[in-house]
Structure 1
Amino acid sequence: MIIKLYSKGVTTREIADLIEKMYGCHYSPAQISNISKQMIPKVEAYHRRKLSDRFLSTWMRPIFRYVEKRLNGKPSNQVDLFLSDGVVGMKAALARTYPETHFQRRMVHVMRNICTKVRVDDREAIMDEFKRIHQQANKEGVTAALHEFYGKWNKAYSRVIQELKAIESDLLVFYNYPKQIRASIYSTNMIESFNNIIKRKAKPKAEFPTEQSLDTFIGIQAMSCNSRYFNRIHKGLGQVQDTLESYFD
């Protein structure tokens, strides 16, 4: 029960109070913390688990906590697509490690950036038109829609259009993949939902005393998430499995 409560984000002091009220047994917050450390070997085994040497896509979304988290690299031999925000240096770093991998900018993040740089009166119209980019039937259609967008708004927002042109090659990559999975690969929603779980459960803790305590906490969340979704196939992926596997031939 202590480990379960800990994984839900309940603080060690709150867990100690609950145990005493429910069972009449006194545990100090330090004792609760020591009990939760039983998960450390499992989390360490999780870090060492064998990964596939081939991944279709990897979603990346940064999350910040008050203890620096050092991630041990476990690179796979082949990843076909990375999806991320425009984090400075991210694309260059990926290119060094995975020179053959494609890179897709998170469309929602691009749209939010546009919103902050245009007048309020124009936002609705601009967003409606920009959304057409990921609603086209093919690469030719989306390229035409994007260039039409450039032409219409360049006079009023030349800097915004210049910035879009600079990252155009990273905006339309998802059109190289089957239409059944495009909705999954122009955003980082899959990893964002997991990040939201971490943020919600970590919020009561304010900060973690050590890097290991943070690592254990996030490891518990990751293992729980994997357990829940292990047998699920994300929307669209099952329909085009043969096509996706052909990318690795």
Structure 2
Amino acid sequence: MTPEAIDRLLADAEESGTPLDGPDGLIARMTKAVIERALQAELTDHLGYQPYDPAGNGSGNSRNGSYGKTVTTMAGPVRVEVPRDRAGAFEPKIVAKGQRRVGQIDEMVLSLYARGMTTRDIQDHLAEVYGASVSASLISQVTDVVADEITAWQTRPLEEVYPIIYIDALRIRIREGGKVDNRAAHLVIGVDIEGFKHVLGIWIEASEGASFWLNVLTELANRGVRDVLIVCCDGLTGLGEAIRTTWPHATVQTCVLHLVRNCFKFVTYDDRKKVAKALKPIYTAVNEDAAEAALAALRHDFGNRYPGMIAVWERAWPEFVPFLRFDMALRKVIYTTNAIESLNAQLRKLIKNRSHFPSDAAAIKLLYLGLRRISGRHIDGEGLACTRGERGTGTYGWKRALNALSITFPGRLPL
């Protein structure tokens, strides 16, 4: 449409007192006109001749009036006339039979849902901004269309080798049997050979244990993961045993960041800076002997005051020690999980708007849509950034870490 034509439309609307928006506004009327014109064009193509064209005589089919239908559009609800043919064989595409929404309404609902808005929030937003009345069941139906997509994503083939896998959890609340339970939504994040992070799947379980984790890791193995060099996790019950059963040569590494954070649960606010300073020599130690000396110093200075903090280190020590055998470049990659923490922070924002979920499937649906919306950033070893969201998020300093991995785990990387 030319600028002159738009100017004429606006002038006519102003002269007749027609508003731009609203159910009787210019935009709604134009939307109605465009949809009806497109429907008439579809019917003409279906019949094979123009209205009133003699070519239609004796064709066996003809136009047969129309029926009214209200559809939700980006301009609000619009009443359109859908043409019919006498044979009843016409199947419109732009507004299909049974369809009540056109344009980007479905995509908008999915986008708002993926940003953490509740069903009620989405209803209110569409009513306020677009004048569209959308039921809770309709929103549920729209978001449920990703069910097959989620299944395909959860069962997609994976890489044969992941140098590093992180296992982390988000706390959620699920209503089941008339009561609300606290559960963990576990995300498994794999770093591929090129340093890109990918969420390999989401699993929810009411109670953790060796059986649950063996099922999760066996599923990953069945999807193609035959070897993992380092599994970075947080001492979850039964996980270490399941890792050694699935990938016997994998190194189980306690997440140092989580270990440090767990310590602060026992420390008063006033002592946090002192404790943080005392903790650093442990995880930056050059070897195990130096780390044990630093732990002994921590025990001497804070053991009587914070025995719970000391117990955190003593319980985790066997699976913390492997960290000290790694090259400093590799340690930094394992310890600095900023990309994963950023991902989790964004997902937690989605969860906090809901007091609980009606089912595990509902929780996974929201988390998946959130993951689908979040785009990653690739940062190569030289610090140059480019958008590579389709491949996940890159790992800073990966080239140096990859060299360290190839030496530490000879013959296990498919390079």
Q: TM-score, normalised by structure 2?
A: 0.52
Instruction: Tell me the equivalent position of 1:74.
Output: 220
CA distance in 1, matches of 2:141, 2:312: 51
CA distance in 1, matches of 2:271, 2:120: 51
Give the 4+ runs in structure 1 shifted more than 6 A.
118-122
The answer (yes or no) to whether the contact 2:166–2:233 under 8 Å persists in 1 is: yes
CA distance in 2, matches of 1:43, 1:164: 38
Instruction: Tell me the equivalent position of 1:111.
Output: 260
Match of 1:195, SS state, is helix
State how 1:29-40 maps to structure 2 within 5 Å. Answer: 29-40=136-147
CA distance in 2, matches of 1:52, 1:230: 13
User: Aligned pair in 2 of structure 1 residues 223, 23: CA closer, same or farther (>3 Å)?
Assistant: closer
Instruction: Tell me the equivalent position of 2:345.
Output: 196
The answer (yes or no) to whether the contact 2:283–2:291 under 8 Å persists in 1 is: no
Match of 2:163, SS state, is strand
CA distance in 2, matches of 1:111, 1:10: 33
Matched, 1:86 2:235: yes
Instruction: Tell me the equivalent position of 2:394.
Output: 233
The answer (yes or no) to whether the contact 1:106–1:187 under 8 Å persists in 2 is: no
Q: 2:131 aligns with which of 24, 42, 50?
A: 24
Q: 1:146 aligns with which of 291, 295, 301?
A: 291
Q: TM-score, normalised by structure 1?
A: 0.82
Instruction: Tell me the equivalent position of 1:213.
Output: 362
Q: Deviations over 1:192-228 (max 9, x none)?
A: 3222222111211222222222221112223334663
Matched, 1:181 2:327: no
CA distance in 2, matches of 1:22, 1:119: 48
Out of 120-129 and 183-192, give the one that drifted further: 120-129
Match of 1:148, SS state, is helix
CA distance in 2, matches of 1:162, 1:130: 14
The answer (yes or no) to whether the contact 1:59–1:188 under 8 Å persists in 2 is: no
Deviation at 1:245, TM superposition (A): 5.0
The answer (yes or no) to whether the contact 1:102–1:173 under 8 Å persists in 2 is: yes
Q: 1:170 aligns with which of 319, 344, 351?
A: 319
CA distance in 1, matches of 2:291, 2:405: 27
- Residue identity over aligned pairs, in percent, reads 21
User: Aligned pair in 2 of structure 1 residues 10, 104: CA closer, same or farther (>3 Å)?
Assistant: same
**Gap runs ≥5 in structure 2:** 1-107, 175-182, 184-203, 206-214, 377-388
Instruction: Tell me the equivalent position of 1:244.
Output: 405
Q: Which amino acid aligns with 1:191?
A: I
Deviation at 1:35, TM superposition (A): 1.0
CA distance in 1, matches of 2:150, 2:167: 21
Q: Select the structure that is richer in helix.
A: 1
CA distance in 2, matches of 1:213, 1:116: 31
**Gap runs ≥5 in structure 1:** none
The answer (yes or no) to whether the contact 1:134–1:142 under 8 Å persists in 2 is: no
Matched, 1:61 2:168: yes
Deviation at 1:237, TM superposition (A): 0.8
Q: 1:99 aligns with which of 229, 248, 256?
A: 248
Matched, 1:8 2:157: no
CA distance in 1, matches of 2:128, 2:335: 49
Instruction: Tell me the equivalent position of 2:157.
Output: 50
Out of 177-186 and 149-158, give the one that drifted further: 149-158
The number of residue pairs the alignment matches comes to 245
CA distance in 2, matches of 1:226, 1:150: 40
Q: Deviations over 1:110-130 (max 9, x none)?
A: 334444556877654443132
RMSD between aligned residues: 3.0
Match of 1:26, SS state, is coil
Structure whose alpha-carbon radius of gyration is higher: 2
